């Protein structure tokens, strides 16, 4: 919790006023047993009704003041804790926005969700409890013991000895429960990850009739979470009965010994009644303290998990992270020089995803990437906007290394259409204008028309104001792809990356899209990933990737004449009898036919 103190500072007034009001409440509560003793000793025993009446009125006034100060403390504690939770959640969300893909790979989505929800709630609740219980419980405990000792030292020593035993027991419970709380949060991460993964892929699960299998997988992680939660709950459950047992035993001893003192006239009846009330107050405050210590132990685990995210340095960072108002870079030339890449934790030569990549692209050119699944095509284009950084080698735009460019300016210059068309909850207009919120309706419609999306959008009842469900579930795959393309075209990027973004389109729609793009991308550098050779034939340069290395580079005709890998792809899609180039001598010699 100490590491999160910076988020408490803005609410220091509430943090001070809450405990201050609680101190007054404790003071009034400590007065009550003394007033009760006065009634018994001088009112009930002496049968003086006026004493009972006056002291009763004083007790009512003290009770009312205790209520007012208690409510005040609760209000201030709530303001401080709720604002603290909101600020930490916002800080976590903001921090996550700065993470690179490598950071996101380290923290699983389910774990981040747990940290932003459950862990923040744990810290928030602890703050609420601390501002109330951390002052009330110790103050009431210490105050009751002091008042008890002032009334009778012998009885007070019995109470003090009992407290020492209880403190030792609680220390043992906390020592063994703290590691369990860390395990509980880790298992909750696994549960949330499994839920998030299943909900994201629910269509695949149903399509392959794997509901039983997924239920079994979830049952496993859920039982693990339940098992360790029960272990942790056992320690929490032991807390209250042990404290109650020891304090009740103490109370019995005090009543037996105190009864003898009253019989010997060493202690007045009212004083014994007041002493018993102080013992009861000690019992209640001890229960609160023990519960608070358990909460502190649990919340400290959550606080460490929150700090782990907040203290994580983005693997890719630069000055001026804000994309708004970022000045785009008018790219004229992109050069990959001896680029190699491996994912985090696997950077030896055997695990390199890309090796010795050298290629260039100039303004107005379309560079197509083709190759088998897993050959590194998507990884290659993700290096350009620095979603990942190269392991070795360099990528330069107009002679400047990407790592020297402001990250916001770099990314605002690139329009990227991912393999998976991700749409946000909101209107179609909002999704198209995601990269340019101030775009006019004419600009949005022009981008949609170029992406071959305007016609189907216009036919919708609400048109561009049609609300989309999560991930655009009320649209087909092809419609989502076209909206994603329109979103990228609207920003008029210097560099356009299309990562297999037309796979859900029919050939006729794709051809119309290519025609529209050829006019719109004359001043851009286009990187095109595709599985179909028909999609890359017209590119000025085609790069053939095979297991992370460039197997061939050139035009469609040149690759058919010289690149065996490209020939294999061509034959697999068109058939040998339909390939006019396979009869060339160079091809025959290359293939051994």
Domain shared by 202 and 185, yes or no: yes
Alpha-helix residue ranges (DSSP H) falling in 435-476: 441-450, 454-459
Q: What is the pLDDT of residue 326?
A: 55
Residues 6+ apart with CB under 8 A from 545: 369, 370, 371, 375, 376, 377, 380, 551
Burial class of 592 by CB neighbour count within 10 A (0 to 12, 13 to 18, 19+): exposed
443 found inside a domain = yes
8 A C-beta contact, residue 254 and residue 289: no
Residue 577 has pLDDT above 70, yes or no: no
Domain shared by 141 and 260, yes or no: yes
Domain shared by 52 and 116, yes or no: yes
287 found inside a domain = yes
Tokens 């934790």 -> residue: 345
Domain shared by 193 and 168, yes or no: yes
Domain shared by 154 and 216, yes or no: yes
Residue 579 has pLDDT above 70, yes or no: no
Domain count for the chain:
4
8 A C-beta contact, residue 562 and residue 554: yes
318 found inside a domain = no
Burial class of 412 by CB neighbour count within 10 A (0 to 12, 13 to 18, 19+): buried
Domain shared by 51 and 91, yes or no: yes
Residue 529 sits at φ, ψ, to 5 deg, of: -105, 130
pLDDT, greater one: 83 or 3:
83
Q: What is the pLDDT of residue 583?
A: 37
Question: What tokens does 361 get?
Answer: 């692209």
Domain shared by 429 and 567, yes or no: no
pLDDT digits (tens, 9 = 90+) for 391-433: 889 999 988 888 888 888 888 888 888 877 788 888 989 988 8
8 A C-beta contact, residue 285 and residue 140: yes
Is the torsion defined by CA of 504, 509, 511, 517 positive or negative?
A: negative
Binning pLDDT at 50, 70 and 90, where does residue 358 land? very high
Mean pLDDT for all residues in the chain: 80
Strand partners, 333: 362
Domain shared by 266 and 359, yes or no: no
316 found inside a domain = no
517 found inside a domain = no
Tell me the CATH number at 527. Answer: 3.40.50.300
Distance CA 584, CA 581 (A): 6
Domain shared by 395 and 450, yes or no: no
Distance CA 536, CA 586 (A): 22
What would the 3-class secondary structure string for 50-76 be?
HHHHHHHHHHHHHHHHHHHHHHHHHHH
Q: Which domain holds residue 477?
A: 421-492
Binning pLDDT at 50, 70 and 90, where does residue 324 land? very low
Domain shared by 560 and 538, yes or no: no
């Amino acid at each position: 919790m100490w590491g999160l103190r910076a988020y408490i500072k803005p609410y220091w007034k509430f943090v001070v006023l809450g405990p201050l009001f609680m101190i007054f409440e404790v003071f009034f509560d400590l007065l009550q047993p003394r007033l009760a003793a006065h009634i018994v000793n001088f009112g009930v025993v002496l049968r003086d009704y006026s004493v009972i009446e006056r002291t009763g009125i004083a007790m009512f006034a003290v009770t009312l003041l205790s209520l007012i100060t208690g409510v005040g403390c609760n209000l201030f504690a709530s303001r401080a804790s709720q604002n603290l939770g909101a600020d930490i959640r916002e800080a976590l969300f903001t921090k996550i926005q700065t993470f690179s893909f490598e950071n996101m790979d380290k923290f699983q989505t389910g774990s981040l969700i747990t940290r932003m929800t459950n862990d923040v709630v744990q810290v928030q609740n602890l703050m609420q409890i601390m501002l109330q219980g951390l002052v009330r419980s110790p103050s009431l405990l210490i105050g009751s013991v002091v008042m008890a000792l002032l009334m009778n030292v012998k009885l007070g020593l019995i109470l003090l000895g009992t407290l020492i035993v209880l403190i030792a027991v609680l220390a043992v419970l906390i020592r063994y429960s703290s590691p369990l709380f860390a395990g509980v949060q880790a298992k909750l991460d696994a549960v949330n990850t499994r839920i998030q993964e299943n909900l994201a892929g629910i269509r695949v699960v149903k399509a392959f009739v794997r509901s039983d299998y997924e239920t079994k997988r979830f049952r496993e992680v859920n039982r693990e979470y339940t098992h360790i939660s029960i272990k942790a709950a056992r320690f929490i459950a032991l807390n209250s009965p042990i404290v109650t047992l020891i304090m009740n035993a103490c109370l019995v001893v005090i009543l037996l010994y105190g009864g003898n003192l009253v019989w010997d006239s060493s202690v007045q009846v009212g004083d014994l009644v007041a002493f018993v009330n102080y013992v009861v107050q000690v019992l209640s405050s001890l229960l609160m303290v023990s519960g608070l210590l358990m909460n502190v132990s649990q919340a400290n685990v959550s606080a460490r998990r929150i700090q782990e995210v907040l203290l994580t340095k983005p693997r890719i960072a630069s000055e001026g992270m804000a994309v708004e108002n970022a000045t785009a870079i008018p790219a004229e030339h992109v050069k990959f020089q001896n680029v190699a890449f491996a994912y985090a934790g696997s950077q030896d030569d055997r695990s390199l995803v890309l090796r010795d990549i050298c290629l260039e692209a100039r303004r107005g050119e379309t560079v197509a990437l083709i190759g088998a699944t897993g050959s590194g095509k998507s990884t290659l284009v993700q290096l350009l906007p620095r979603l990942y950084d190269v392991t070795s080698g360099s990528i330069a735009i107009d002679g400047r290394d990407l790592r020297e460019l402001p990250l916001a300016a770099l990314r605002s210059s690139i329009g990227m259409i991912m393999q998976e068309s991700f749409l946000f909850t909101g209107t179609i207009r909002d999704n198209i204008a995601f990269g340019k919120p101030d775009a006019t309706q004419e600009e949005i419609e022009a981008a949609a028309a170029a992406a071959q999306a305007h016609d189907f959008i216009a036919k919708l009842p609400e048109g561009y104001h049609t609300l989309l469900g999560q991930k655009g579930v009320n649209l087909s795959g092809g419609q989502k792809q076209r909206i994603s393309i329109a979103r990228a075209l609207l920003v008029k990027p210097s560099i356009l990356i299309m990562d297999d973004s037309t796979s859900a389109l029919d050939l006729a729609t794709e051809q119309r899209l290519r025609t529209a793009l050829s006019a719109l991308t004359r001043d851009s550098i286009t990187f095109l990933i595709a599985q179909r050779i028909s999609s890359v034939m017209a590119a000025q340069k085609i790069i053939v990737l095979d297991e992370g290395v460039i197997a061939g580079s050139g035009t469609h005709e040149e690759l058919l004449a010289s690149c065996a890998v490209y020939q294999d792809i061509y034959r697999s899609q068109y058939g040998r009898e339909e390939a006019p180039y396979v009869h060339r001598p160079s091809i025959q010699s290359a293939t051994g036919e």
